[in-house]
A and B are shown apart, each in its own frame.
Chain A
Amino acid sequence: MANVPTDLKYATSHEWVRVSGNVATVGITDHAQHELTDVVFVELPAPGRTFKAGDSCAVVESVKTANDIYSPVSGDITEVNQAVVANPALVNSEPYGGGWFYKIKLSNPAELNALLGPEQYLAHIGAA
């Protein structure tokens, strides 16, 4: 059973968002890491880059495939998680903790309303 914390927002493309003020932390869900399996490489955007919601902004590679990660919200990248670059297995072991990808300064906070809540995400992955 996938772990879907109740305090986060979710994108249909399986990223999670944790909001603190006008900055959002982004990672991929437990369901996503389970589907990807053994993550062996993570490529993150350079701080300062600007993305629109839905833009491809990072890549996560498992043994078998390379997968694009899409930014769930628009804004400027303020920080990336170097620990997950050095140890990609954190995506599998701590998808909502040490496995986070980047922080982004929200340019359009209203977009958060378009993201899924935990119940909606559970339904989206067929686990509700």
Chain B
Amino acid sequence: MKRTPLYAAHQRLGGKLIEFGGWEMPVQYTSITDEHLAVRKAAGLFDISHMGEVLISGPGAEAFLNQTLTNDIRKLAAGQGQYTLMCNARGGVIDDLYAYRLTDQEYLLIINASRIETDVAWMEKQLAAFPRRGEVKFQNTSDLTGAVAVQGPRVVEFMDAFCPGPSTAGIAVARVTDLKKNQAGRFSFAGQPIWVSRTGYTGEDGFEIVAPGHSIEAIWNQLLAAGQPYGLKPAGLGARDTLRTEVCYPLYGHELDENTTPIEAGVGFFVALDKGEFIGRGVLAEQKAKGTGKKLVALKMADRSAPPRPHYAIWSTGPAVAKIGEVVSGTQSPSLGIGIGMGYVPPAFAKANTPVEIEIRGKRAPAVVVAKPIYRKPD
């Protein structure tokens, strides 16, 4: 199993380590519920160094990325990022990722840990067939790069102390908390260049920091010290999963796979049909126009019951009672205190307030299709 540069830090903090996508990662330090609620109410710090980083640069980079990814990369100015997907010719998702334009001709892709090898092989194959391949430099820097996410409503209170501005590349800001959502800037930390973006995977305000692997432990320790007076806690993959499930962010291998399209998964907003040809466009254009056979829905248990789990069957309650789909993510919601999840069903059952049943150990328990996100921050 692979280890991140923060492995020793996780051990010192008493993290419970599990295997995730080939990596030995902390699932929790104290309790998933405590860490989840810390992120919702104050702040949490996550090691995301397992995620992959790919740098693509040169005069042909923009055109190459626009034919390889679904969103329109031309919309990004230097220092901006966007959620996007990489599809096969059938429109199936190879990976979902964040793409940042760092400078005019330089892009950073943050890809899923479990998909690094597949993604790199796919992109290298596409690049080999790309007419302007001589104008594109491709670097997989995943092994040299670490990353952390610091998330929660109180993060803004200590980020400037952690990382004094101004930015030196990307978006020009005087201080890091001047970054707006999806903006990224390069800052200096102990003399090292680090990239900070206002992004996350929790539904809360927050930042993600990408830096050389050898700098990550110092960054982690400095953030823990700066955030402690504000309630910052280290948080593991368990809380990361419950947080993202509450706000219905997809996780590769659950909501997304090579046989599922972005349209089916409800992320068609990030498929720019108007930008010209790209891989998967034919299928995705047809699905956007004519609809799909299955749709991703958010689910909430109607009563106190066992929470839904991946692969549980979803049943209709009428007019005909039948198995209509399968749960792909499920958990007890720490914020709501009830079982929640996501699953695929035919479009006829995808409307909010549709009653369904989830089969749990041979018995069917009542649930309801709800609007996404399942959890909304109180105003």
The residues of A with any CB-CB pair to B shorter than 8 Å are 37-38, 40-41, 43, 59, 61-66
Contact = CB atoms under 8 A, between A and B. Distances in A.
Given A59-B361, A63-B238, A63-B331, A41 B306 contact: yes
A66 B306 contact: yes
Given A41-B332, A43-B306, A63-B332, 7 more contacts: A37-B32, A43-B361, A59-B306, A61-B307, A61-B332, A62-B32, A66-B306
27 contacts: A37-B32, A38-B31, A38-B33, A38-B332, A40-B307, A40-B332, A41-B305, A41-B306, A41-B307, A41-B332, A43-B361, A59-B306, A59-B361, A61-B306, A61-B332, A62-B32, A63-B32, A63-B33, A63-B242, A63-B307, A63-B331, A63-B332, A64-B27, A64-B32, A64-B238, A66-B306, A66-B309
B331 A64 contact: yes
A38 to B, nearest CB: 5
B363 to A, nearest CB: 9
B46 to A, nearest CB: 16
Contacts of B31: 37-38
Interface in B336-379: 361
A96 to B, nearest CB: 20
B48 to A, nearest CB: 19
Most chain A CB neighbours (cut-off 10 Å) among B27, B32, B305, B332: B332
A61 B28 CA distance: 16
Contacts of B305: 41
A38 B33 CA distance: 7
A66 B312 CA distance: 12
Contacts of B238: 63-64
Interface string B238-257: 10011000000000000000
Contacts of A65: 309
B334 interface: yes
A2 to B, nearest CB: 14
The 5 closest A-B pairs by CB, nearest first: A40-B332, A63-B32, A41-B306, A38-B33, A63-B332
A59 B307 CA distance: 12
A128 B241 CA distance: 34
A20 B270 CA distance: 64
A105 B136 CA distance: 74
A92 to B, nearest CB: 9
Nearest to A39: B332
A80 to B, nearest CB: 16
Nearest to A35: B16
A37 B306 contact: no
Contacts of B33: 38, 63
Contacts of B28: 37
Which of B238, B241, B242, B305 is packed against the most chain A CB atoms within 10 Å? B238
A15 B321 CA distance: 39
A47 B357 CA distance: 26
Contacts of A61: 306-307, 332
A78 B32 CA distance: 34
B16 to A, nearest CB: 8
Interface in B286-343: 305-307, 309, 331-332, 334
A41 B27 CA distance: 20
B339 to A, nearest CB: 8
Nearest to A64: B238
A40 B361 CA distance: 16
Contacts of A43: 306, 361
B334 A63 contact: yes
Contacts of A41: 305-307, 332
B235 to A, nearest CB: 13
A64 B310 CA distance: 11
Contacts of B332: 38, 40-41, 61, 63
Contacts of A37: 28, 31-32
Contacts of A66: 306, 309
B34 to A, nearest CB: 8
Contacts of A64: 27, 32, 238, 241, 331
